[in-house]
Structure 1
Amino acid sequence: MFVRSGLIRKRPEWSDEDFRRHWLGQHAELAARLPGLRRYEQNHVTDSLQRGFTYPRGPEQLDGFSMLWFDSEQAMREAIRTEAGQALVADENHFIGDLRIVTIDQMEVIEPEADRPLLKRMSLLKRRDDVLPDEFKSEWRQEHAHLVKRVAGVRGYRQNLIVGREAPKGHPVERDGLPIDGIVELWFDDTESLNAAFASPKGQTLMTHAREFIAEITTFLVERHVIVGARG
């Protein structure tokens, strides 16, 4: 599956309320018309406090994350060339001030529970300068995933390894142009359980390991909306 995520900042003249209403309304309707779109999620940023731990934070300020799933990169490009795709792009220019795209290799470590509402947090990861890309991938996908599974209170956990970057959209760049290496999706019952998870002994072990390969963790609480595809 080919997965793309948009790092979104609204136009400055748009209020938070108007931005969210338009994104969830007209823009979501346009995206749902894309041929071959298998899944589409919007994650509206509601809070950018560094909750649960003290950790160096990057400079990113975001209003939302989009995620779109296609069968392949070719299917995605064909969809954008259609009339529906061009209408979607035109609407992006209407209400989005800054849009950067990352292509991701997604791994679901703990499937999020779907039978009740959950709090969702997304985080941008930047690897340490002395850690090579393959080392970052190995530490994150193996040991770190194992340690997260041991932390009580985690209701879902997804790792998104970044394998391609566009800054702005449509302009491929190397890592220097968008120095983010991963996107974390974590689910909890509420903010209290989030804080308790990281404060626990196993949560502390997890963050000790993070310092071995991660330089910055930039966190956001988000409100998740599944536009296309089954909830999960």
Structure 2
Amino acid sequence: MIYRSGVFSRKEGLDGETFRQHWTQVHGSLASRMPGLHSYWQNHIIERLYEREGRSHHAIDGISQLAFDDVAAMERAEISPEYAACKLDIPKFQGAITILVLEREEIVPPPALSTPQRKHKLVWVSEARADFRGEALRERWMANAATSLEAVPSPTGFVQNFVTDRSHPVQAGVPSGDIPVEAISELWLSDAAALKSFAESAAGCMFIHRDPLLKPIGIYLVEEVSVR
């Protein structure tokens, strides 16, 4: 299973609530019809807990996650009429967009969809800190994952998503982004307050900001919306 992830900004001049409504009610319905799609998650930013100063890339206002069997299945969906309808809709609410292909490593399986812990999560987008990229980065990070997770108090879910492909830009009349992402991390705790408290704690700083292989670009408290 792979995940096609869009990391994108809001269309200039569009307020946050209009952006949210269009993404969930209009674009979500269009994207959910893509052939071969197993699931579609939208990550709506509730609060920006950290963003690196002096960034040269576009803003991050939303992160999508669409699951396909593999890259070939994703590419078949990209030439479908359903995807063509999505591309026509993109300029109505999105600004620049960086498209990434991700592979997931479930360190701690996420909470069940029916539980209140699933509604909110902490998401951080990171670039590589050293010269390791791709599979070399993944192997080195996974070798120490269990030990690193000891810093997190009672995680109810933790997933590390590694970038495996960035060669599928959207041709939809919006700028193609180039955020240097190597991993997208997802953490679930008991509730939104616990997530924010951890991110701002000394333990959270050690876990996120002092990762020897990954350097955070942005850290966000998000609401996770299941579209399909």
Q: In which range does the TM-score fall when normalised by the shorter chain?
A: 0.7 to 0.9
Distance in 2 between residues matched to 1:196 and 1:2, nearest whole Å: 31
Q: Partner of 2:154 in structure 1?
A: 153
Cα gap change, 1:192/1:157 in structure 2, threshold over 3 Å: closer, same or farther? same
Superposition TM-score, scaled by structure 1 size: 0.81
8 Å CA contact 2:196–2:221 kept in 1: the answer is: no
Q: How does 1:16-95 map to 2 (within 5 A)?
A: 16-50=16-50, 59=55, 61-95=59-93
1:144 and 2:145 matched: yes
Distance in 1 between residues matched to 2:84 and 2:142, nearest whole Å: 36
After the TM superposition, which segments of 4 or more aligned residues of structure 1 sit over 4 Å from their partners?
Answer: 55-58, 195-205
Q: CA deviation at 1:170?
A: 5.2
Q: How does 1:166-205 map to 2 (within 5 A)?
A: 166=167, 168-169=169-170, 177-194=178-195, 197=198
Cα gap change, 1:154/1:94 in structure 2, threshold over 3 Å: closer, same or farther? same
Where 2:227 maps in the other structure, the secondary structure is: strand
Q: Report Cα offsets for 1:176-221 as digits up to 9, x if no partner.
A: x4322110011122344235546888667645861x2233352011
8 Å CA contact 1:144–1:209 kept in 2: the answer is: no
Q: CA deviation at 1:29?
A: 0.9
8 Å CA contact 1:144–1:206 kept in 2: the answer is: no
Distance in 2 between residues matched to 1:218 and 1:100, nearest whole Å: 14
Distance in 2 between residues matched to 1:161 and 1:135, nearest whole Å: 11
| The 10-residue stretch of structure 1 (141-150 or 108-117) with the greater mean CA deviation from structure 2 | 141-150
Q: Report Cα offsets for 1:16-45 as digits up to 9, x if no partner.
A: 000100100011111111111111100011
Mark the runs of 5 or more structure 1 residues left unpaired by the alignment: 172-176
CA RMSD of aligned residues (A): 2.8
Cα gap change, 1:181/1:222 in structure 2, threshold over 3 Å: closer, same or farther? same
8 Å CA contact 1:110–1:149 kept in 2: the answer is: no
Distance in 2 between residues matched to 1:48 and 1:22, nearest whole Å: 21
Distance in 1 between residues matched to 2:30 and 2:3, nearest whole Å: 18
Q: Partner of 1:6 in structure 2?
A: 6
Q: Number of matched residues?
A: 218
Q: Partner of 2:175 in structure 1?
A: none
Report % sequence identity: 29
- What letter corresponds to residue 30 of structure 2 in structure 1? L
Distance in 2 between residues matched to 1:74 and 1:169, nearest whole Å: 16
Distance in 2 between residues matched to 1:77 and 1:7, nearest whole Å: 18
Cα gap change, 1:123/1:74 in structure 2, threshold over 3 Å: closer, same or farther? same
Superposition TM-score, scaled by structure 2 size: 0.82
Q: CA deviation at 1:126?
A: 1.5
